[in-house]
Amino acid sequence: MGEERNWAGNVRYTGSVVHPETVDEARALITSGEPVRMLGTRHCFNDIADTAGTLIALDRMPAVCEISPERDAVRVSGGLRYGDIAPRLEADGLALANLASLPHISVAGAVATGTHGSGDAIGSLAAAVREVTLLTASGEVLRLHREDRRFAGAVVGIGALGAVLELVLDVEPTYQVAQRVFEGPRWDAILDDLDAVTGAGTSVSIFTTWQRTDRADQLWIKQRGAEDLAGDLPGRLGAVPAEVKRHPILGVDAEACTDQGGAPGPWFQRLPHFKLEFTPSAGAELQSEYLVPRRDAVAAIEAVRGLADRIAPLLLVNEIRTVAADQLWLSSSYGADAVGLHFTWRPEEVAVRALLPDLEAALPQTARPHWGKVFTLDGAEVRRRYARWDDFAALRAEVDPDRRFVNPYLERLGL
């Protein structure tokens, strides 16, 4: 068997990868006494999923995608990707409230790391979860509903509580989304009324390479329904409509991107930036992301702007998105609406890691790193930024007293 690596190629897995096909097979692996971690679609950029023991991938488990009789929820197996379940929901006239920029990621992995799309009124992907089913270190199947005291700690569980066998997600009637791209919005105008900019559509993203500090590169506005919420805002920002389809990174072929130009289409063919049938890039990149409470967003963007001369040479693109607040203990938007600053870096890990401490020091001390991306904040500082960390640590000790799922990543966080 060849060397096992993550999607980007920057992490080499040290454990042996196993693909159980039944719950009993997964139980036998988990209760064998070896350290275990769960492995999804390998779209994490750090060692969150690694262990010297057994890496368990659930992608060969029976596929579950069952719509509730009330048609307000869907039960899905954790190993499925969002791109797998979205067309099935659409075929039944249903939809999810949001999707991330990539449909290629697994449901369980995305939820466990607090992954999100964009939208002032839309929570992270984890916010749609109404029930989670775990296979714990003892071999117990533990099903937690929103009413359970442990639920809010278990959803964004960073792989510390067990294997996510199934999730029940909120769904709603299907809807159409139109996507438009504008080029060259002025930063001063954006920061003068950031709320208006991020509220200009159902889902809004600002992209920039920081090659210049007076203007961002692109403003992507995805709008649900027929109403144009943006109005004359792009013009007031000094932005002009893109004349051709655009990739988030200027100059890159946009064939893999979802359709733009304002033509309405099904939600799952517009909310992601990239189409499922394409690999969005070769994977030769690194990613970091920091989410700050909305009140600190302008200060955070200005901090990045102030480091533009150091960031730009290492950067492929910086995306700024928004996420609605939730009450999930380890969610980056716990307790407050958040603005995320997402960095797609060139594959120069030594240089990126040398820059990150200065970037992290410049950001507001409320900034929370995405669990699955590259960051250098130490465990004590990360813990300080989560009000319910101690509760989560107690839940981890309750569910996994023998620390079967604890790996070096979790140890660095103090678990």
Which 3 state secondary structure label does DSSP give 356? helix
What does the pLDDT average to over 291-311? Answer: 98
Identify whether 124 is part of a domain: yes
Residues 248 and 373 in one domain: yes
**Which of the listed residues 153, 174, 195 is the one where a domain comes to its end?**
174
Interatomic CA distance for residues 45 and 287, integer angstroms: 7
Note whether residue 402 is domain-resident: no
What pLDDT is recorded for position 3?
Answer: 80
Does a structural domain hold residue 413?
A: no
Asked if the structure places residue 399 within a domain, the reply is no
Percentage of residues of the chain with pLDDT beyond 90:
93
Average pLDDT, the chain: 95
- 9 occurs within a structural domain: no
Q: Do 290 and 317 belong to one domain? A: yes
Residue found by looking up tokens 């096992």 in the block: 4
Q: Is 240 found in the same domain as 105?
A: no
What is the predicted pLDDT for the residue at 214? 97
For residues 222 and 282, state if they share a domain.
Answer: yes
* CA 41/CA 375 separation, integer angstroms: 20
Domain contains 361 = yes
Q: Are 71 and 170 in contact (CB under 8 A)?
A: no
Domain that holds residue 337: 176-378
- Whether residue 112 contacts residue 157, with contact meaning beta carbons closer than 8 Å, is answered with yes
User: Which of these, 43, 5, 48, 73, lies nearest to 330 by C-alpha position?
Assistant: 48
Judge contact between 288 and 319, C-beta under 8 A. no
In a domain? residue 72 = yes
Instruction: Tell me, yes or no, whether 218 and 325 share the same domain.
Output: yes
Q: Are residues 265 and 159 in the same domain?
A: no
Are 125 and 228 members of one domain?
no
CATH code assigned at 274: 3.30.70.2520
Say whether pLDDT at 230 is over 70: yes
Both 132 and 195 in one domain: the answer is: no
Total domains in the chain come to: 3
pLDDT band for position 382 (50/70/90)?
Answer: very high
Residue 124 has pLDDT above 60, yes or no: yes
Q: Are residues 95 and 145 in the same domain?
A: yes
Q: What is the CATH number of the domain that holds 162?
A: 3.30.465.10
pLDDT of residue 228 exceeding 90, the answer is no
Tell me, yes or no, whether 244 and 327 share the same domain. Answer: yes
Based on the fold, state whether residues 273 and 331 are members of the same structural domain. Answer: yes
Predicted confidence (pLDDT) at residue 13 exceeds the cutoff of 80: yes
Q: Whole-model pTM above 0.85?
A: yes
Q: Check pLDDT > 50 for residue 1.
A: no
* Residue 227 confidence class, pLDDT cut points 50, 70, 90: confident
Instruction: State yes or no: pLDDT of 159 exceeds 50.
Output: yes
The verdict on residue 70 lying in a domain is yes
User: Which of 140, 174, 208 is the endpoint of a domain?
Assistant: 174
> Does position 10 have pLDDT exceeding 90, yes or no?
yes
Residue 130 belongs to what H/E stretch? strand 129-135
Q: Which residue has the higher pLDDT, 371 or 226?
A: 371
349-362 and 297-306 are packed helices; what angle lies between their axes, rounded to 10 degrees?
130
The 10s digit of each residue's pLDDT in 343-353 is: 999 999 999 99
Is there a single domain that holds both residue 193 and residue 157?
A: no
What's the confidence (pLDDT) of residue 392? 98
- If pLDDT is split at 50, 70 and 90, which confidence band does 282 have? low
